């Protein structure tokens, strides 16, 4: 399995305050982990640093110190190469569906791989059919449901066959049926999957779970133990 290496990673940002106007805030502090399991979940309180950790993998966030590596590529040195390895699915799929219809969005993803327009369209429809959403191919992305949009975003990201799939709170906007669909899809993927979630059932599907607390890894291990630890941390 592809590996993700976080080696002493800190992310520090300027956090101006009324008193000194120049203080800084550590969003992540000295985070180290080598992740080579197929399914890794990251859980933690709001604002603990989960999204920032995920965004380090494709260079959307930059490490202030330490090293981030995906599939042997140093993200800090070559974020462009890292982005070819990492597919990113955001909580709100509308933030990443850039074309008017699902079919066109997939065709855009496929443009470098399939030059012929007819072939590209056929492949786009095939990929939508694989996700059981072929019926929305030519609808406006604004007219389809949030669950359908999430599946379109996933299909578009997977169309370029990334080695690693990163998802930031992918079930937040989904009803129970779409959430189950997404869980099944994730379980069947060949890619390494790293996701941040508040959905503890989704975390329990993982092979390994990191609990982030105030920018540090507070627990790293088996899902059931990690969820129990997190519940304790939350006083729940
Ligand atoms: N570029 C930035 N500049 C300043 N503060 C930031 C920046 N990025 C993130 N933060 C802050 O860092 C903290 C961690 O944010 P992050 O989005 O990583 O948390 P999270 O664990 O994903 O939270 P949630 O569960 O609410 O989505 C938050 O307090 C956030 O406001």
| Predicted complex ipTM | 0.95
pLDDT at 200 over 60: yes
Per-residue model confidence (pLDDT) at position 1: 67
Whether 16 is in the pocket of ligand 1, judged by its Cβ within 6 Å, is no
Q: How far is the CA of 12 from the centre of ligand 1 (A)?
A: 11
Number of domains in the chain: 1
**Over pLDDT 90: what percentage of the chain?**
85
Whether 90 is in the pocket of ligand 1, judged by its Cβ within 6 Å, is no
Determine the average pLDDT of the residues in 39-53.
96
Could you tell me if 225 and 219 are in contact, meaning their C-beta atoms sit under 8 angstroms apart?
Answer: yes
Closest ligand 1 atom, CA of 27?
A: 12
Other beta carbons within 10 angstroms of residue 158's beta carbon come to 21
pLDDT at 19 over 90: no
Ligand 1 atom 3: residue of nearest CA: 13
CATH number of the CATH domain containing 105: 3.40.50.300
For 162-210, give the DSSP string: -SEEEEESTTTT--HHHHHHHHHHHHH-SSEEEEE-S-HHHHHTSSEEE
| 16, 100, 163, 171, 187 from 52: Cα distances, Å | 19, 29, 20, 18, 24
pTM of the model: 0.92
- Per-residue pLDDT tens digits for 91-141: 888 989 999 999 999 999 999 999 999 999 999 999 999 999 999 999 999
Could you tell me if 216 and 29 are in contact, meaning their C-beta atoms sit under 8 angstroms apart?
Answer: yes
Q: Which domain holds residue 166?
A: 4-234
């Amino acid at each position: 399995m592809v590996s993700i290496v976080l080696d002493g990673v800190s992310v520090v940002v300027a956090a101006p305050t009324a008193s000194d106007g120049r203080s800084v805030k550590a969003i992540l502090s000295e985070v180290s982990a080598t992740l080579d399991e197929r399914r890794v979940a990251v859980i933690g309180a709001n604002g603990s640093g989960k999204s920032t950790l995920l965004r380090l993998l494709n260079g959307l966030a930059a490490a202030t110190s330490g090293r981030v590596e995906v599939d042997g590529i140093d993200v800090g040195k070559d974020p462009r190469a890292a982005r070819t390895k990492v597919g990113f699915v955001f909580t709100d799929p509308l933030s990443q569906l850039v074309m008017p219809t699902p079919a066109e969005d997939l065709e855009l993803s496929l443009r470098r791989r399939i030059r012929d327009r007819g072939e590209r369209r056929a492949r786009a429809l095939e990929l939508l059919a694989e996700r059981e959403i072929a019926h929305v191919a030519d609808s406006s992305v604004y007219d389809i449901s949030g669950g359908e949009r999430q599946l379109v975003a996933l299909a578009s990201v997977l169309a370029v066959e990334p080695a690693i799939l990163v998802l930031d709170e992918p079930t937040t906007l989904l009803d129970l049926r779409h959430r189950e669909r997404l869980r099944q899809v994730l379980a069947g993927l060949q890619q390494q999957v790293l996701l941040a979630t508040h959905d503890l059932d989704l975390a329990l599907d993982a092979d390994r779970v990191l609990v982030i607390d105030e920018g540090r890894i507070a627990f790293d291990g088996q899902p059931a133990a990690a969820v129990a630890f997190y519940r304790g941390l939350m006083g729940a």
